[in-house]
Amino acid sequence: MKKALKIVTIGGGSSYTPEFAEGLITRAAHLPVAEWWLVDIEDGKEKMEIVGQLAQRMFKKAGLDTKVVMTLNRKEALKDADFVTTQFRVGLLEARMKDERIPLNYNSIGQETNGAGGLFKALRTIPVILDICKEMKELCPKAWLVNFTNPAGMITQAAITYGKHERTIGLCNVPIGMTKGIAESLKEKESDVEVLMAGLNHFVWATHAYVNGENQITKSLNFLIDNPAEAPANFSHEKWDPSTLRSMNVIPCSYHRYYFDTEKMLQEEIENAKTKGTRAEVVKKVEEELFELYKDLELKEKPKQLELRGGAHYSDAACGVIDAIYNDSNARIVANTINNSTIRSLPPHAAVESTCIVNKSGAHPLAVEELPQWMDQWLKLIFSYQDLTIQAAVNGDYNALLQAFFINPLTPKGAKAADLIKDLMIAHEQYLPQFKDLITSYKK
Amino acid sequence: MKKALKIVTIGGGSSYTPEFAEGLITRAAHLPVAEWWLVDIEDGKEKMEIVGQLAQRMFKKAGLDTKVVMTLNRKEALKDADFVTTQFRVGLLEARMKDERIPLNYNSIGQETNGAGGLFKALRTIPVILDICKEMKELCPKAWLVNFTNPAGMITQAAITYGKHERTIGLCNVPIGMTKGIAESLKEKESDVEVLMAGLNHFVWATHAYVNGENQITKSLNFLIDNPAEAPANFSHEKWDPSTLRSMNVIPCSYHRYYFDTEKMLQEEIENAKTKGTRAEVVKKVEEELFELYKDLELKEKPKQLELRGGAHYSDAACGVIDAIYNDSNARIVANTINNSTIRSLPPHAAVESTCIVNKSGAHPLAVEELPQWMDQWLKLIFSYQDLTIQAAVNGDYNALLQAFFINPLTPKGAKAADLIKDLMIAHEQYLPQFKDLITSYKK
Amino acid sequence: MKKALKIVTIGGGSSYTPEFAEGLITRAAHLPVAEWWLVDIEDGKEKMEIVGQLAQRMFKKAGLDTKVVMTLNRKEALKDADFVTTQFRVGLLEARMKDERIPLNYNSIGQETNGAGGLFKALRTIPVILDICKEMKELCPKAWLVNFTNPAGMITQAAITYGKHERTIGLCNVPIGMTKGIAESLKEKESDVEVLMAGLNHFVWATHAYVNGENQITKSLNFLIDNPAEAPANFSHEKWDPSTLRSMNVIPCSYHRYYFDTEKMLQEEIENAKTKGTRAEVVKKVEEELFELYKDLELKEKPKQLELRGGAHYSDAACGVIDAIYNDSNARIVANTINNSTIRSLPPHAAVESTCIVNKSGAHPLAVEELPQWMDQWLKLIFSYQDLTIQAAVNGDYNALLQAFFINPLTPKGAKAADLIKDLMIAHEQYLPQFKDLITSYKK
Amino acid sequence: MKKALKIVTIGGGSSYTPEFAEGLITRAAHLPVAEWWLVDIEDGKEKMEIVGQLAQRMFKKAGLDTKVVMTLNRKEALKDADFVTTQFRVGLLEARMKDERIPLNYNSIGQETNGAGGLFKALRTIPVILDICKEMKELCPKAWLVNFTNPAGMITQAAITYGKHERTIGLCNVPIGMTKGIAESLKEKESDVEVLMAGLNHFVWATHAYVNGENQITKSLNFLIDNPAEAPANFSHEKWDPSTLRSMNVIPCSYHRYYFDTEKMLQEEIENAKTKGTRAEVVKKVEEELFELYKDLELKEKPKQLELRGGAHYSDAACGVIDAIYNDSNARIVANTINNSTIRSLPPHAAVESTCIVNKSGAHPLAVEELPQWMDQWLKLIFSYQDLTIQAAVNGDYNALLQAFFINPLTPKGAKAADLIKDLMIAHEQYLPQFKDLITSYKK
């Protein structure tokens, strides 16, 4: 008999929390949870209490005695935890709005995981994840850290290489959506298709889709090309040229469009910023409505409206990993892990996103076949700017940051880069202690 | 409902065949076999009929209607096969005796998978495996080739890279024995220990042994050091220095002793050759006795005496792989596959032996962590002579063969190498068509 | 006593030819040239005769008996040549105009060595250089091929890897200008500064500038930053951010600006195309004027006006290499050679541009120190699209071409790439025999 | 006008010193030396005075006013030095005798640069070279360190990577002898043959021998094979098989025979140890006789008998490098430098021995072509044990030392390695402060 778990969720006041509760409830028969601690900061307290109480009602309705604890005291929560999940956002949606709007002033993509915005989200988040790793080392050294905080690849890499918390697994919902879409395109049940993915977070490709031992990726790709209306939202957005896609013979994720259709994506962002608001601004409104719903004491389940929020499948991903570890199930899950030898063209310390076997000893990525030159090259490029960004975040290294901009295809270079960096540094000043001297120098 | 299988075993007259039959019978409930074809050559016909008839009696006793077919016509057998297993020995035990005795004349290890003998076994076997691949391409292109023929690594690599039969999986019983030994050393059930292995066939190391998610390899290693009497036969033979083993913190396989205790192994071989005979000569006697037993019409099961033969667990390995593929079970099996990115320090086309997940789409090796410098170096060395040997075998390339000797730590170099190669070429002349001109030139 | 040389210049009708003549005349004392053959095609015959006759007058005036031969028969010229220089332009300036103008329709850089234009110049030129290599193999297998035809890196790589003419050296005048500029910035004589360069053609960096054994690259860089007015034209154009340059601590070449200030470069091109014409159009006028001058029978030297043409120092570069080989002088020259191990992050078959020692046995590149991550990454990116372009050029491989566009930072991707490729294919149809089927399919 | 030099020679009491003096005298016209400081320890004082006074007589006879200073005060000597040469032997010939004799007890090669003896010489010497680097950093940071102390590759690597003295160049006389032998085999003057070498110290190969721009290495190799009597002593010793040599198509150095004819070399060593003494014992007698000669006040030149000592050409090598740096001559010299990208298959921090261009900014190795698999593999093996030995020497790391033995083809493994290490540790105790605790533990 294995013991019931203590799970801790940092950023507990997130609007995703009810989905997570649902995930735990669905799996309760084989995944017993004794305590679920939600942790947040003072600014998130109110939201945390709303979702925490909703979660309590949901567990009660399900007849489960899981104890939901809400706290601002992270250390108390971490003590003897079995799993720690992270879904916090440093600076809340206000910071995201800045990441989205400020780069637009430079005619440059403003987005929370790519371009200048993604880099600054990493700069703000990495110091916090390193603090969490430090506390875990002391308070729950054997706990698994399951991270969804974006940019999930960089955060995972920082936690393992600088935070030295090897038991870290990074997750994203993009591969889940892709897997579902590929199965649909092949008219197969999801469980009958073995999809292999490889790449980096938000820059991943499905390279194989086995049905009965035969790779059907070409068939899936052709279907998606020929039936854009039936393709998953992500894919159809992209307007890839069919001959380009066929020359690749792999299926891209939705975020690739930032790199391969940059101009159009930028125009959309500029247009949105003028009209309906940036993504953060839209999400803010959705969240306000959601929290109004959550407050309803009669509500005892995840409301349908949450799906508009955009985080579908996070629950699957996170609870799925906890389940696979707890039950030693060798489940096939796409996760972010340290590369080691998974993708030969990236260095061992890179966090890669790829198909893993998850069991009691963690997530074991499957070795990846040699990649074509064009993909190899793009992966190296994306990895390199992320690696430099992590160095910049950890050491407050302005040179590394300039160089990250220098190789990131979505950011300005040279003098324009220096100006944009300055604007973002000043805007996010309170979350960038490692750049204190630089920011002070800007103000002189 | 999946269809019942057609399995073909090339080298069907092997003394192992009854164990294989037992493996199929044990798994019959979930692994239905309609036809099992045994294939052999004229010289093996008598033995094949003995073991084939024994197998027929075994299936009958088990109440199974599996049809056992014996044939000398390989092409007929291969037609529409689902699985092809290879356990043939080119030149039979007589050739092995030469591989074992001739190198001793040069004060050099004589052994069937290592040293000069192992190289010549590869030279004889590779042309045959390439013929089989060619026939499979025509007659059963989707069948899986499960190879146990030694040297299993080189044969697997040749089948995939030169034979272009991607659906090839190489097997060995050494990792099975190691896994059992490690579990025993930890006082755990085998199924509760997740052993990770990495290396090359007959040069593999157990690098991790997870129990409840914790790596216990050091504990296992210490037990084996402190309790040599309880260590598996393979391990205790080796007389490794405890401090050397502790500095490595991985568990070696038994064949490493040829490289790390060469002098003593050579003395043992010389002594044995003078007294009880070489291994082939011992096996020959054991086999003669076995076949006497097999002939007994009352015998309807695998006789106990087979265990003396030394091939224990081959049945587990081969039937286990067929089972995992047929039932799509994601079983964890140590197998020889093409490296791709599995072990970073070896090139993608190397056949590596490592922990794989086996399912309908084949054997997927888990990515391996960075290896320590000493292990990395030894793997490269062993791989390189194997790679050169394969080139020599495929192209009849004497220079590549000389260079393989030049880097193989167990073979003589320079003039002595040339002399030993000459002796072995002449001894094995009839099985080395690719070196016909060279052998002719020797005779002038 | 070494024999006087036979030099062949393919594209002999070039406006650069008088500079080349001057280079030979200056070096005549230690570099005796018996015959100089100019080769051109029918369309270039008139120009060749003008510059050939000017060259004859120049040699005569210098009191040299070098025989200048003009021919349309390339094979006759190549027979027993010692050196072959290539400075031809497939499709003449008209083709260049298309390379410059058509991409602008797609809001994309139009330039003859970078972006879509550079790729198509490679597609047109590589088949011709391979023909030349084939003829040289037969007619002058030991001759050195000294190539200036752009894109010089790709042409050199194709000649060595596909043309199998190992004795190929690629040249560019950019490193010569950089070396002069660096010496001036340090107030030293050029001969007293040992500049080390590394990179790819038109994407090269000066990494060291030794004066009396001390690396003064930082001093040079700081001077160039602080004194833009005194910086060489190439450098000052770039408006690099000082902090970015200081973080790099190497000196970029002028072509980098296409990658790092893309938007501005594009705007300049668009503006020029509307007003004074593209570069090809400007050059066309300059050339018309030059050829008027060249026709003057009283002209017996290189006219000053040639310097406006933009090819200054080509003479130095080409004659310098011929001189260093002929006189076995171990001269330090920046050249394009096969990488081998020169730059670790690029594969052995890449053509790299770096500091070489040139003597009788050819150009030996000095091994390059490990490069910083950002530079390493950019070099890999540029190399990869070039490598794919060469594959496309040799094999008429449309997929490789799409993939080259896919990783080239200056070209559109996906559907837009397909459209631009179509326009350029049709425009250059007569020079792209390897894409005949594709072009035919466009027209249906 | 460049200033006259201050040269410091550590291990000044060496019997080689008169040859060095001769090298300086020969070059005096273009290599002015103001002061030559000889440094030694108390035990070497008497010898230093003998050779120092001989050197003074030699300079005087040559009419040079070079001041020869003898001192036991290394720091005083190093102050403001321009060049520091190192030719010391930690533990004198007595230590070498132990390195040669003790391994023989284990039936293992006993030699001062290879096998267990070579490893222990590195363990003794590296702490001293690091002290010297530290003092140079303070007293003469811009001086060049020219090291001949063996094992020259490991010492050079340690000085650069751990001593952080980048201006270190390692030298050996083996490549000089090879170059001379190759020129003779081709009946050419040495200056007319451009020999390219690549490898590691005492494990180097001549890969090219250009005469008039054509590679004649095959011709040279064939001559050496066909005319063993005319081959250099080193080569003829080896009794390489002609077909093996031809398959390699490169020329080995003499030390390769320890690896490729190990058994015979071992038997020779055992025989010598019983009869005429080990090499150190022979050298000891030769040195005693030499120093008797050196004492003769009438002796004012290098005596012929020095050539028996075995260190011919060291003078050429060391003075040649000093000359090339001082006169900025771009001389082609085979030296040990940090690899960077010189040999792709070795890591950047390896010290490689290869053809360099030497000038004011140091020794610049030429990039090396891709090496054949067998050579690549051997280089990696030798490098890896050296790299582990350096780690052991710097950190007193017993595990690294065991692992170095584990991959060194000339040393015992496992328990036998542990015993031999123990014997050597105790024998050299006073020179191995970094292993103090280990040695203490042995004695309990």
> How many percent of chain D have pLDDT more than 90?
84
A267 touches chain C (CB under 8 A): no
Element (H, E) at B111: none
Q: How many CB atoms lie within 10 A of CB B443?
A: 7
Instruction: Flag if A365 and B367 touch (Cβ within 8 Å).
Output: yes
Q: How many residues does chain C have?
A: 444
pLDDT per position as a tens digit, C293-340: 999 999 998 888 777 676 667 777 899 999 999 999 999 999 999 999
Instruction: Flag if A417 and C239 touch (Cβ within 8 Å).
Output: no
In the 8-state DSSP scheme, what is residue D112? S
The yes-or-no verdict on residue C376 having pLDDT over 70 is yes
Instruction: Flag if C343 and D348 touch (Cβ within 8 Å).
Output: no
If pLDDT is split at 50, 70 and 90, which confidence band does D361 have?
Answer: very high
B239 touches chain D (CB under 8 A): yes
- Asked if A426 and A442 touch (Cβ cutoff 8 Å), the reply is yes
- Asked if C190 and C177 touch (Cβ cutoff 8 Å), the reply is no
pLDDT per position as a tens digit, A259-287: 988 888 999 999 999 999 999 999 899 89
Instruction: Flag if A418 and C387 touch (Cβ within 8 Å).
Output: no
What is the rounded distance in angstroms from the CA atom of residue D49 to the CA atom of residue D36? Answer: 13
Nearest residue of B to residue D247, measured between CA atoms:
B399
- Asked if B133 and B165 touch (Cβ cutoff 8 Å), the reply is yes
**Residues sharing a CB contact under 8 Å with residue C70, sequence separation 6 or more, in sequence order:** C12, C37, C38, C40, C48, C49, C52
pLDDT per position as a tens digit, C182-201: 999 999 999 999 999 999 99
Q: Nearest C-alpha of chain C: how many angstroms from D120?
A: 31
DSSP symbols for A274-332: HTT--HHHHHHHHHHHHHHHHH-TT--S--GGGGGGS-TTHHHHHHHHHHHHHTT--EE
Nearest residue of D to residue B240, measured between CA atoms:
D414
The yes-or-no verdict on residue A415 having pLDDT over 80 is yes
If pLDDT is split at 50, 70 and 90, which confidence band does D92 have?
Answer: very high
Residues in a beta bridge with D42: none
- Asked if B293 and B305 touch (Cβ cutoff 8 Å), the reply is yes
Average pLDDT over residues A21-45: 96
The yes-or-no verdict on residue A1 having pLDDT over 60 is no
pLDDT per position as a tens digit, A125-173: 999 999 999 999 999 999 999 999 999 999 999 999 999 999 999 999 8
Chains that touch A (3 or more CB pairs under 8 A): B, C
User: Residue B305's pLDDT is what?
Assistant: 78
**Residues sharing a CB contact under 8 Å with residue A8, sequence separation 6 or more, in sequence order:** A36, A37, A39, A77, A78, A81, A83, A84, A85, A143
pTM for this structure? 0.94
Q: Nearest C-alpha of chain D: how many angstroms from C379?
A: 15
Instruction: Flag if A388 and C374 touch (Cβ within 8 Å).
Output: yes
Instruction: Flag if C360 and D208 touch (Cβ within 8 Å).
Output: no
What is the rounded distance in angstroms from the CA atom of residue C384 to the CA atom of residue C367? Answer: 21
The yes-or-no verdict on residue D311 having pLDDT over 80 is no
Cα–chain center distance at C325 = 20
Instruction: Extract the tokens encoding A429.
Output: 């000043």
What is the rounded distance in angstroms from the CA atom of residue A262 to the CA atom of residue A268? Answer: 10
User: Residue B239's pLDDT is what?
Assistant: 65
Q: Which of B264, B407, B441 to mutate to test the interface with D (most CBs of D within 10 A)?
A: B407
pLDDT per position as a tens digit, C244-285: 899 999 999 989 989 988 888 999 999 999 999 999 999 899
D341 touches chain C (CB under 8 A): yes
Number of helices (H), then strands (E), in chain A: 18, 13
The yes-or-no verdict on residue D232 having pLDDT over 70 is no
What is the rounded distance in angstroms from the CA atom of residue D70 to the CA atom of residue D76? Answer: 11
In the block, which residue shows the tokens 């003898």? D70
Instruction: Flag if B417 and D244 touch (Cβ within 8 Å).
Output: yes
> What residues 154-193 of chain C have any CB closer than 8 A to a CB of chain D?
none
- Asked if C136 and C102 touch (Cβ cutoff 8 Å), the reply is no
The yes-or-no verdict on residue D312 having pLDDT over 90 is no
B255 touches chain D (CB under 8 A): no
User: Residue B231's pLDDT is what?
Assistant: 64
The yes-or-no verdict on residue D235 having pLDDT over 70 is no
Low-confidence ranges of chain B (pLDDT < 70): 1, 229-239, 308, 310-311
Enumerate the residues of chain B whose CB falls inside 8 A of the CB of residue D344. none
If pLDDT is split at 50, 70 and 90, which confidence band does A238 have?
Answer: low
A384 touches chain C (CB under 8 A): yes
Q: Please, is B288 exposed, middle or buried when counting C-beta atoms within 10 Å of its C-beta (0-12, 13-18, 19+)?
A: exposed
D430 touches chain B (CB under 8 A): no
Enumerate the residues of chain A whose CB falls inside 8 A of the CB of residue C413. 244, 259-261
The yes-or-no verdict on residue C62 having pLDDT over 80 is yes
User: Residue A230's pLDDT is what?
Assistant: 65
Q: Which of D218, D240, D377, D399 to mutate to test the interface with B (most CBs of B within 10 A)?
A: D377
Nearest residue of A to residue C247, measured between CA atoms:
A399
Catalytic status, residue D442:
no
User: Residue A313's pLDDT is what?
Assistant: 78
Instruction: Flag if B406 and D374 touch (Cβ within 8 Å).
Output: yes
A342 touches chain B (CB under 8 A): yes
In the block, which residue shows the tokens 């105009």? C97
Whole-complex ipTM? 0.91
Instruction: Tell me how far CA of residue A126 lies from CA of A89, A163, C427, in angstroms.
Output: 11, 9, 52
Average pLDDT over residues D362-371: 95
Instruction: Flag if B330 and A357 touch (Cβ within 8 Å).
Output: yes
Nearest alpha-carbon partner for D198 in D408, D3, D389, D350? D350
A120 touches chain C (CB under 8 A): no
